[in-house]
Structure 1
Amino acid sequence: MGNIVVAGPNEVVVVSGGCVKKDSTYVVGGSAWKTWCVSQSHRMSLEVMTLLPSVTSCETLKGVPMNVRAVAQVRIKHEIEHLKKACEQFLGKKPHEIEEIIINTFAGHLRGICGGLEVEDLYRNRERFAQSVIEEAAPDAEKMGLEILSFTYKRPHRRKRVP
């Protein structure tokens, strides 16, 4: 006895447990069988997440404090190995918790790259800066089962020093 569990095209359903199979079943846009009292299922969204990472008081190469803001579009990859990684990291978490984890990852990379550049580089080469962040953050995103669809760096704001 059991149930059929259906997943939409924008979500993954993970069916785990059971007597026969030891691996979980990952279903995107399809269905799976869930045995009563033996198996359990969990859902996770695969929709694109729009994130707003920002860093305040980030010091540049010459010690000038800057406020850096960006917009990033990320999503969980649909391949099975990436779904497994994402489910290990995020399954059972609320969407805002997932977004916070990813934003903190981006913020660390923003701070690191900003610290290696001068203020003029941040103003003149915004596309190169954004590309650098993508290149730096992509391996960490990959480890979480994510792919960075886009990353846009907003105009920086110079923070005034307090005397």
Structure 2
Amino acid sequence: MFGWNVPAPDEAMLVSGGKNSGETPFRVVTGHGAFVLPFFRKVRFLTLSMVEAEVEERCVTGQGITLNVRAVIAFKVGNDAESIVNAGQRFLSDQGQMSVLTGRIFAGHLRSIIGSMTVEEIVTQRQRLATEVLDGSKEEMAKIGLAVDALQIQSIDDGDLGYITAMSAPHTAAIQRQAQIAHSQARQAAAEAEQDSQRKQAEYGRQTAIVQAQYKAEVDRAQAAANQAGPLAQAQAQREVLAARTELAQREAELRQQQLVAEVVKPAEAEAERVRLLARAEAERMRIQAEAAASHNRVALDRMLIDQLPQIVHEAAAGLQGANVNILNGADGISELAASLVGQGLTIFESLRKNISDPTAKGGSATESEPATPAGNGTRQIGSGLPS
């Protein structure tokens, strides 16, 4: 807008050409805009940014030794209205003069301060030098509206005099001695470390050899045990196989014996028992009939003889008791044996009947008959048991 002016953030706007109610010769505007009547007022801008000035000065110390000192000063126009007015009145038309004037002011104070100090103090107490220079120049800088932000002493040297070098020689020698001592100590420590490492390696090698020997001994023992365990295990296995085979043979023999008992012995015993029971029953019946035959006629006698036939057979079978009889064909063999006994009984019966019918036919007795001998190894007499 025409007549409206705004200063930059790092600038101060100076308005002149009118009456000012304050004590300043012109109006100072910072941070905001202002309306300025054209043609009747004049607007100028003063920088408030930081400015740098370099100082390189030859200074003489209190010992008369010339030193070349180089320093850098950082400064700016103060933020208050008074500093802006003082700086504007001095530098507004040529603001580059602020760096030149500041360098001169600090050069003078730098020569003054260094002249009251020794080289040792200057070299070892640079911060003290910078502080004294700042304090000495603060009042003058404030009068011209400038404020110093920082002062940095960059370098100090004595040219070719060698004073600073000589001054540092004792320290350098001490540092070198310390360095040599440290180096020697480091070499000694390194040698000790090397010896210790060698000892540890030797000990490690010895321990390794012991462990390897122990391991080899364990392996050898285990291998020997394994070598012995093979034949022992094989022999044990063979013994177990033989024992198993023996047990199997015993079980097969027992099974065969049980089979023989079931197939041969038990049937024979059952048949013999059956024959004995029948014989006893028939003997009892024949005894009763024999008693009846004594009082009956011939028909009764023949009948009694006929009834006595089972007893005769029984007696013939009794002759086999205790005999060593081998039956090879099972139940058929037993049937054949029983048929033979019955046949012998019939023969004996026929003989008895004839003798009873004709007692004098063969010179025999009516009360006795010749004993019959059944087949087999054992002998047994069979009587008729009949009355004469």
TM-score, normalized by length of structure 2?
0.39
- In structure 2, C-alpha distance between the alignment counterparts of 1:72 and 1:4, rounded to whole Å: 36
The alpha carbon displacement at 1:11 in A equals 0.6
RCO greater where, 1 or 2, for CA within 8 Å and sep 6 or more? 1
Q: Which has the higher strand share?
A: 1
The alpha carbon displacement at 1:29 in A equals 1.9
- In structure 1, C-alpha distance between the alignment counterparts of 2:122 and 2:64, rounded to whole Å: 13
**Residue type at the aligned position of 1:144:** I
In the other structure, the counterpart of 2:359 is none
Matches within 5 A, 1:144-155: 144-155=144-155
> Alpha-carbon deviations, 1:35-65, whole Å to 9, x = none?
2222111111110112212212x11112111
From 46, 49, 52, the equivalent of 1:50 is 52
> Alpha-carbon deviations, 1:91-120, whole Å to 9, x = none?
11142x221111111111111111111111
In the other structure, the counterpart of 2:12 is 12
The alpha carbon displacement at 1:158 in A equals 0.9
Matches within 5 A, 1:117-136: 117-136=117-136
**Residue type at the aligned position of 1:52:** E
CA RMSD of the aligned region, Å? Answer: 1.6
In the other structure, the counterpart of 2:40 is 38
Q: What SS is found at the alignment partner of 1:12?
A: strand
- In structure 2, C-alpha distance between the alignment counterparts of 1:16 and 1:133, rounded to whole Å: 36
Q: Which stretch has the larger CA shift, 127-136 or 63-72?
A: 63-72
TM-score, normalized by length of structure 1?
0.89
In the other structure, the counterpart of 1:25 is 27
- In structure 2, C-alpha distance between the alignment counterparts of 1:131 and 1:65, rounded to whole Å: 21
- In structure 2, C-alpha distance between the alignment counterparts of 1:110 and 1:94, rounded to whole Å: 24
Is residue 84–residue 145 contact of structure 2 (8 Å, CA) maintained in 1?
yes
Q: What SS is found at the alignment partner of 2:63?
A: coil
Percentage identity across aligned positions?
A: 25
- In structure 1, C-alpha distance between the alignment counterparts of 2:101 and 2:35, rounded to whole Å: 32
- In structure 1, C-alpha distance between the alignment counterparts of 2:36 and 2:62, rounded to whole Å: 56
Matches within 5 A, 1:104-115: 104-115=104-115
Q: What SS is found at the alignment partner of 1:52?
A: strand
The structure whose Rg is larger is 2
> Alpha-carbon deviations, 1:104-157, whole Å to 9, x = none?
111111111111111111101000000011110111111111111111112301
Q: What SS is found at the alignment partner of 1:30?
A: coil
- In structure 1, C-alpha distance between the alignment counterparts of 2:17 and 2:35, rounded to whole Å: 11
Matches within 5 A, 1:26-105: 26-56=28-58, 58-95=59-96, 97-105=97-105
- In structure 2, C-alpha distance between the alignment counterparts of 1:30 and 1:119, rounded to whole Å: 51
- In structure 2, C-alpha distance between the alignment counterparts of 1:72 and 1:142, rounded to whole Å: 15
Is residue 123–residue 155 contact of structure 1 (8 Å, CA) maintained in 2?
no
- In structure 2, C-alpha distance between the alignment counterparts of 1:21 and 1:138, rounded to whole Å: 30
Unaligned runs of 5+ in 1: none
Q: What SS is found at the alignment partner of 1:53?
A: strand
Is residue 20–residue 27 contact of structure 2 (8 Å, CA) maintained in 1?
no
Is residue 15–residue 32 contact of structure 1 (8 Å, CA) maintained in 2?
no
- In structure 2, C-alpha distance between the alignment counterparts of 1:94 and 1:149, rounded to whole Å: 18
- In structure 2, C-alpha distance between the alignment counterparts of 1:4 and 1:21, rounded to whole Å: 19
Unaligned runs of 5+ in 2: 162-388
